[in-house]
């Protein structure tokens, strides 16, 4: 299936697009249509990619809230671009699109108003050697009996806290002095990801979830309920162990591609509506999943990560645009699409994942498609990727992330030549 899709799309002109050629009947793709903005929009449902289709690089194994799997950007990057093309994600999150772009030999532009995004993504592009990481970790001085300026005793054993504070101070001092290099930034990335979790591979005592920190009061309650006290975790050993795991499936070619992409990569921390650093008509493909209507309280989710990295949660919250209703969300996304149209090259694409909101009561593509069309794009259609797919599946009844399945809904836009 995928091979036939690739061979057709890489040579097609928009006027020649035929969904039956794109998704042959023998592959059992379900095709339906819906009229939006006066246009007959096709919907395609099939198992276009699976988690087993190409074993994802171990480098992606970084916990982050609400991130899509690397098979999604990989499918569209391979389908619609060639080596050397520019791939963009305006809402980068943990950097899944950026890392997959680098692995596949394309050029990276990544944007997220949250500074933690670059902290997680860029070090994995620069990809320092394991030898350099291990050597640097061993050289970092650890002072005894160090305490954080906030109470972290419910998360960490006193010796672990001392090691963690020593590492935090070392990294902040290196950055302030302008001496932070790709090895330091890698260590920062790994340590930020290991702050709290549910296994001995994290610095903290058992806590949930691993991709955001609960409050101190909540952790005290968890400790009481589980009758647990923080045990000692060796910070340096955990950083080295996680680094080895991130490296373990990388091929020499992938490492070469990643490091090459790092040299030209553009990382921004901007409102996605205003990305003046990106040249007009420079992007071949955008793959992204935007923030939805769920209100995320940044300071509650990321307070510990921000503490470790010397970031003010208050400053970040001032920059983040929170949309509390559909009308406000549409207003923001309308401007995002106008900016995407500006940066997209003629013959370029936007793959825009539309997640489930309000427990599946709202079909977000109904709102996204008109925004893209008004900005100037043509809507090729909506791909609904569903694992455990059956021909009898109801096109409108499929829910994203429904129990027992792994589904995604992606609106595909095209900028005419």
**Got the DSSP string for 5-30?**
HHHHHTT--GGG--HHHHS-GGGT-E
The distance of Cα 263 from the centroid of its chain, to the nearest Å, equals 20
Whether a cis peptide bond, with omega within 30° of 0, leads into 118 is no
Lowest mean pLDDT among 39-53, 367-381, 383-397: 383-397
Q: What digits encode the pLDDT tens for the residues 13-22?
A: 544 444 444 4
Q: Is the pLDDT of residue 205 over 90?
A: yes
Q: Supply the mean pLDDT for the chain.
A: 85
CA distances from 307 to 165, 251, 313, 414 (A): 10, 35, 9, 42
Q: What six digits make up the tokens of 107?
A: 């050029």
Element (H, E) at 383: strand 378-386
Average pLDDT over residues 68-79: 88
* pLDDT of res. 359: 58
Q: Contacts for 21-30 with beta carbons within 8 Å, 24 or more apart?
A: 27/1, 28/391, 30/391, 30/393, 30/395
Q: CATH homologous superfamily of domain 2-115+251-297+318-414?
A: Vaccinia Virus protein VP39 (3.40.50.150)
* pLDDT of res. 169: 97
Average pLDDT over residues 233-243: 98
DSSP 232-285: P--HHHHHHHHHHHHHTT--HHHHHHHHHHHHH-EEE-S-TT--TTSPTT-EEE
Cα angle: 296, vertex 302, 303; to 5 degrees: 120
Q: Is the pLDDT of residue 409 over 60?
A: yes
Domain ranges in the chain are: 2-115+251-297+318-414, 130-246
Cα angle: 273, vertex 380, 86; to 5 degrees: 50
Q: What digits encode the pLDDT tens for the residues 76-92?
A: 998 889 999 999 999 99
Task: Grade residue 356 by pLDDT with cuts at 50, 70 and 90.
Answer: low
Element (H, E) at 118: helix 116-126
* Pair type for strands 344-353 and 407-414: antiparallel
Q: What digits encode the pLDDT tens for the residues 34-63?
A: 888 788 888 878 777 765 545 677 888 887
Q: What digits encode the pLDDT tens for the residues 283-324?
A: 999 999 998 765 566 667 889 999 999 998 887 777 776 677
């Amino acid at each position: 299936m995928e091979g036939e899709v690739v061979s057709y799309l890489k040579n097609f002109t928009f006027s020649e697009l035929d969904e039956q050629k794109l998704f042959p009947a023998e592959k059992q793709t379900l095709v339906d249509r819906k009229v939006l903005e006066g246009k007959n929009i096709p919907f395609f449902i099939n198992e276009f990619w699976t988690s087993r289709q190409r074993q994802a690089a171990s480098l992606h194994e970084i916990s982050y809230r609400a991130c899509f799997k690397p098979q999604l950007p990989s499918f569209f990057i391979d389908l619609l671009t060639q080596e050397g093309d520019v791939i963009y994600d305006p809402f980068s999150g943990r950097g899944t699109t950026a890392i997959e772009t680098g692995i596949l030999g394309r050029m990276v532009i990544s944007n997220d108003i949250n500074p933690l995004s670059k902290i997680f993504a860029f070090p994995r592009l620069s990809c320092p050697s394991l030898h350099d990481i291990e050597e640097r970790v061993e050289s970092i001085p650890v002072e005894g009996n160090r305490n954080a300026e906030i109470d972290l005793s419910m998360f960490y054993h006193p010796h672990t806290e001392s090691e963690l504070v020593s590492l935090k101070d070392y990294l902040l001092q290196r950055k302030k002095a302008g001496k932070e290099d790709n090895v330091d930034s890698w260590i920062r990335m790994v340590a930020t990801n290991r702050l709290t979790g549910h296994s001995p591979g994290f610095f903290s005592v058992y806590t949930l979830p691993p991709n955001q920190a609960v409050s101190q009061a909540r952790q005290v309650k968890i400790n009481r309920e589980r009758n647990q006290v923080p045990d000692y975790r060796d910070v340096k050993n955990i950083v080295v162990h996680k680094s080895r795991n991130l490296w373990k499936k990388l091929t020499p070619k992938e490492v070469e591609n990643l490091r090459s992409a790092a040299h030209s990569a553009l990382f921004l921390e901007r409102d996605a509506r205003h990305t003046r650093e990106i040249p007009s008509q420079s992007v071949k493909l955008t793959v992204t999943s935007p923030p939805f209507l769920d209100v995320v309280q940044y300071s509650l989710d990321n307070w510990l990560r921000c503490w470790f990295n010397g970031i003010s949660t208050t400053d970040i919250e001032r920059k983040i645009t929170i949309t509390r209703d559909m009308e406000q969300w549409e207003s923001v996304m309308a401007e995002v699409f106008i900016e995407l149209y500006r940066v997209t090259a003629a013959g370029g694409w936007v793959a825009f994942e539309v997640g489930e909101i309000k427990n599946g009561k709202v079909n977000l593509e109904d709102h996204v498609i008109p925004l893209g069309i008004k900005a100037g794009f043509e809507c090729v259609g909506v791909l609904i990727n569903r694992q455990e797919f059956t021909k009898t599946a109801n096109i409108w009844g499929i829910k994203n992330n429904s129990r027992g399945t792994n589904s995604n809904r992606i609106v595909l836009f095209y900028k005419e030549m």
